[in-house]
Amino acid sequence: MKFINKKRREVTLISVIIMVLILFFSGCSIGKAISSTQIKGRGEVAEPIVTVENDPKIQLTAKQSEGKYNFIVKNYNEKGKITQVDMKYKVEILNKKDDAIIIKLFKNDEEILINNNQSEYFTLTKEDKKQDKFRLEVKYDKTKSTSVEDIMQDLQIKVHSEQLKA
C-alpha cells in the first residue's frame, strides 16, 4: 500500500512538473494583462465670425419724426478672416410696444417682414466674404400717440447668430 501511494505521488509530481514545463516553454500564460495606449492629438475649434458695424445713434423728436439707422452684418472680421463655419442669424428689435412708432427693416434695399420684433433667419456661408446691409427706418407718428409727452424710449438692435449643423 505504501508502495502504491509512493508510486502515485511520483506520477502526480512528474505530471505536474511536465505540465509546468510545457506551459513555460509554450509561451502561454494564465494571467491578466493590462495594456495602456496613449494617443496625442491636437484639434482646433472652428472660429465663427459675425461682425456688426453700425451708425451712431439717432434721436427722434416731435420736430424730427423720422430717422434711418444703418448697420452691416458680415461673415469676416477687420483682418479679412472669414468665418470657418456656416452661420444663420436674425435681427431683433427691442423696444416697448407703441403704436406711434412705425418700424421698417430693409436688407440690401428690400423690405423685410418683422414678426414679434424679429426678422426671419439669414445665412452667412464660409465659402466667401459676404456682408448684408440693413437699414432700419423709424417713424414717430404723434397723432397715434396716447401720451401728451414727446417720445422717450430707446430702440435696441440685437443680432442673434447660430452655427448651422454640418
pLDDT at 92: 92
CA–CA distance from 134 to each of 50, 61, 159 (Å)?
Answer: 14, 23, 11
Phi and psi (nearest 5°) for 28?
-80, 145
What is the reported pLDDT for 29? 60
**Secondary structure class of 160 (helix, strand, coil):** strand
User: Block means of pLDDT (10 residues each) for the chain, length 166 residues?
Assistant: 76 89 71 77 75 77 79 89 90 80 90 91 90 89 64 76 83
Predicted pLDDT of residue 41: 78
And the C-alpha cell for 136?
432700419
Q: How far apart are CA 48 and CA 42, in angstroms?
A: 19
- pLDDT given at position 106: 94
Residues 6+ apart with CB under 8 A from 35: none
Whose CA is closest to 111, among 92, 86, 134, 93?
A: 134
> What angle (nearest 5°) sits at the alpha carbon of residue 18, between those of residues 13 and 23?
130
Q: What is the pLDDT, as a whole number, of residue 94?
A: 85
pLDDT at 57: 77
Q: What pLDDT, on a 0 to 100 scale, did the predictor assign at position 134?
A: 93
Q: Give me the pLDDT at residue 132, please.
A: 92
pLDDT for 140 equals 79
How far is 36 from 112, CA to CA, in rounded Å? 59
